[in-house]
Amino acid sequence: MKLKQRILLALLTLFTFAGARAQGSERIDVDLNLIKVNVTMNPEHYRELMDRYLKADTTLRLDEVATVYYGYAATPDYAPDLTFPEIDEAMSLENYEKAYKLCFAAAKEAPVSLPVLINVIKLMPQIDLKGNLDSYLNIRQRLEMLIGTILASGTGIRRELPFKVISEADMMVILKDILNVDSIVDRSKIGQLDALKITFPTSSREHILYFDNTLHEQYKQHNP
């Protein structure tokens, strides 16, 4: 299967975010600088969009979810290197109930973190959802909204249309959990872009995917 087809399949079938599902070939023009200016100049509007996102409001447009996700990097809460080792520890000990509760707590601290949100989905088979269904569905919908928006931010297969993310960890979720990449064979910088040579399961054919992770890079420069 061609790389473009794999990406489109992920957009159409792995997730059900209405905006992305309705038009699988839809692309949005993500201007990171413009989003930063808008969030900085209109914090109340951003808070309104964030509140709608936290409620998993499916009437949010792709561009509005893009403002929520990429605009988060313009807020004081942005911490792309934030990790939650207590979640990993609970999962390694197979204490799934504890891990599940920790994930929900982490989702409040890092509301647009793909690793945090997808852990809830991964834990679902191990958890009795009785009493937790509404909160689970909220997290799932939010994750779908973010994934749909990231995959709509570019094609990933062309330098001029990379997938845009706000953290290294989010990039890895897209690769490993969404596109089901088997291995990262090589990685290099082309200008400000990350170019990753990858393979998929059952095939040794190598592909290249491009990501724009400049927001995280800028953060590291100012927070060494």
Give 108-154 pLDDT, tens digit per residue. Answer: 999 999 999 999 988 888 888 777 788 888 999 999 999 989 999 99
pLDDT class of 170 with cuts at 50, 70, 90: very high
Q: Which residues contact 38 (CB under 8 A, 6 or more apart)?
A: 45, 46, 67, 71
Cα 167 to Cα 69: distance, rounded to the nearest angstrom = 11
What is the arithmetic mean of pLDDT over 65-69? 97
Res. 9 pLDDT band, cuts 50 70 90: low
Spatial distance between the Cα atoms of 59 and 47, rounded to a whole number of angstroms: 16
Q: What percent of the chain clears pLDDT 70, i.e. is strictly above it?
A: 89
Spatial separation of the C-alpha atoms in residues 106 and 3, rounded to whole Å: 33
- DSSP type of residue 79: -
Query: What confidence tens digit (pLDDT) does each residue in 69-114 have?
Result: 999 999 999 999 999 999 999 999 999 999 999 999 999 999 999 9
pLDDT of residue 128: 81
Beta bridge partners of 153: none
Q: What is the pLDDT of residue 37?
A: 97
Spatial contact of 19 and 28, defined as CB atoms under 8 Å apart: no
156/9: higher pLDDT: 156
Q: Are 214 and 70 in contact, with CB atoms under 8 Å apart?
A: no
Q: What is the pTM of this model?
A: 0.89
Q: Which two tokens stand for residue 51?
A: 């509140």
What are the φ/ψ torsions at residue 22 (nearest 5 degrees)? Answer: -65, -35
Q: Is 185 helix (H, G, I), strand (E, B) or coil?
A: strand
